[in-house]
């Protein structure tokens, strides 16, 4: 032959050079290398930490946007922490219905705040402090900062019981010149599998 292979593509015949085949040990090494890269990528993906906790106590600043949006309603929420990615606070609220009254079953869309995680520190008592924020004040936006304190490994003694998880959210700036501070507490941060 002429050292070229004919390849049929559609109705056209193209000529390509013969490709050298990888055989034996070279192929084995290539396959092993690819397998190790894939296994390493999967292991790294599974090593990414992600934590979540249900929130059960809400202390919204009086006359703040959040307190007005959720006034007189049932409130629930979760905090999700991905230390290398985001901190997400999700608040659920629905109409509070008194016992014996007929109420519509209305559930509002959740209120979600998501900020990029910026730091993870261990406090003097062993608590872990996750902080994230977005600062859009330069474009008439707001500074939204969420700090999550995981007291699971807190070794200090207190005169009162401390919550397993504390969430502090600060919102300031913007056209309405907001200056809000909210505190929520909840269950222990648990690793998401």
42-91, pLDDT tens digit by residue? 545 455 689 999 999 999 998 888 887 777 777 889 999 998 889 999 99
pLDDT at 36 over 70: no
Burial class (CB in 10 A: 0-12, 13-18, 19+), 11: exposed
The whole-number pLDDT of residue 7 equals 43
- CA–CA–CA angle 23, 25, 28 (5° rounding): 90
Burial of 87 (0-12, 13-18, 19+ CB in 10 A): buried
- The answer on pLDDT for 37 being more than 70 is no
Q: Which residue has the higher pLDDT, 186 or 11?
A: 186
| Contact call for residues 60 and 68 (beta carbons, < 8 A) | no
Q: Answer yes or no: is pLDDT of 10 > 60.
A: no
| Mean of all residue pLDDT scores within the chain | 80
Q: Which helix (H) or strand (E) holds 74?
A: strand 73-81
pLDDT at 181 (0 to 100): 93
Q: Mean pLDDT check: name the lowest of 35-39, 162-166, 175-179.
A: 35-39
What does the pLDDT average to over 173-193? 88
The pTM (predicted TM-score) of the whole model is 0.70
pLDDT at residue 20 greater than cutoff 60: no
Residue 103, pLDDT score: 75
pLDDT at 41 over 60: no
- Token readout for 99 is 């016992």
Give the CATH number of domain 51-191; options: 2.30.30, 3.40.50, 2.40.128, 2.30.130: 2.40.128
d(CA 71, CA 109): 15
Phi then psi dihedrals of residue 171, to 5 deg: -130, 125
Domain boundaries of the chain, sorted by first residue:
4-47, 51-191
Average pLDDT, stretch 21-36?
63
Look at residue 12 in the predicted model and tell me its pLDDT. Answer: 47
19 pLDDT more than 70: no
What's the pLDDT score for residue 121? 94
């Amino acid at each position: 032959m002429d050292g070229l292979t004919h390849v049929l593509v559609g109705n056209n015949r193209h000529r390509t050079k013969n490709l050298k085949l990888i055989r034996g040990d070279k192929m084995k090494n290539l396959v092993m290398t690819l397998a190790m890269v894939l296994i390493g990528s999967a292991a790294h993906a599974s090593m990414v930490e992600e934590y979540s906790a249900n929130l059960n106590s809400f202390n919204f600043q009086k006359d703040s946007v959040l307190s007005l949006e959720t006034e007189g309603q049932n409130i629930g929420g979760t905090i999700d922490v991905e230390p290398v990615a985001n901190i997400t606070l999700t608040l659920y609220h629905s109409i509070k219905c008194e016992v014996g009254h007929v109420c519509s079953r209305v559930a509002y869309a959740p209120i979600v705040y998501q900020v990029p995680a910026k730091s993870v520190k261990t406090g003097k008592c062993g608590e872990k402090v996750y902080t994230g924020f977005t600062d859009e004040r330069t474009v008439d936006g707001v500074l939204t900062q969420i700090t999550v304190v995981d007291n699971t490994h807190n070794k200090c003694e207190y005169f009162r019981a401390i919550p397993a998880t504390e969430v502090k959210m600060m919102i300031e700036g913007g056209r309405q010149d907001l200056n809000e501070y909210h505190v929520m507490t909840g269950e222990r941060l648990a690793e998401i599998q």
